[in-house]
């Protein structure tokens, strides 16, 4: 199996309310730097939550985006 499978559970099994940038990038099939640019420019389809200088991406927003729209 792929390394990512062990590092990131399938999105339907994700129980955290928000995930770090590397996990969000994996689920959205984008590079981490793309998500960081979305956060910096505030122009992406979803917005992160900033926690002590770190980005956390809402799982509900990721699911909504993958199902055809953002929250």
The model's pLDDT over 10-58, given as tens digits with 9 standing for 90+, comes to: 999 999 999 999 999 999 999 999 999 999 999 999 999 999 999 999 9
| pLDDT computed for residue 5 by the predictor | 56
Assess if residue 33 is contained within a domain. Answer: yes
| pLDDT computed for residue 2 by the predictor | 55
For residue 34, the enclosing domain spans 16-67
- Residues 17 and 51: their CA atoms lie apart, in Å, by 13
Assess if residue 21 is contained within a domain. Answer: yes
Domain count within the chain: 1
Assess if residue 56 is contained within a domain. Answer: yes
Assess if residue 1 is contained within a domain. Answer: no
| pLDDT computed for residue 3 by the predictor | 55
Assess if residue 31 is contained within a domain. Answer: yes
């Amino acid at each position: 199996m792929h390394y990512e499978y062990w590092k990131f559970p399938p999105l339907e099994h994700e129980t955290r309310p928000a995930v770090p940038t590397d996990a969000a990038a994996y689920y959205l099939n984008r590079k981490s730097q793309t998500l960081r640019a979305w956060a910096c420019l505030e122009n992406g389809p979803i917005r992160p939550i900033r926690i002590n200088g770190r980005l956390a991406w809402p799982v509900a927003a990721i699911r909504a985006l993958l199902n055809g729209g953002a929250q």
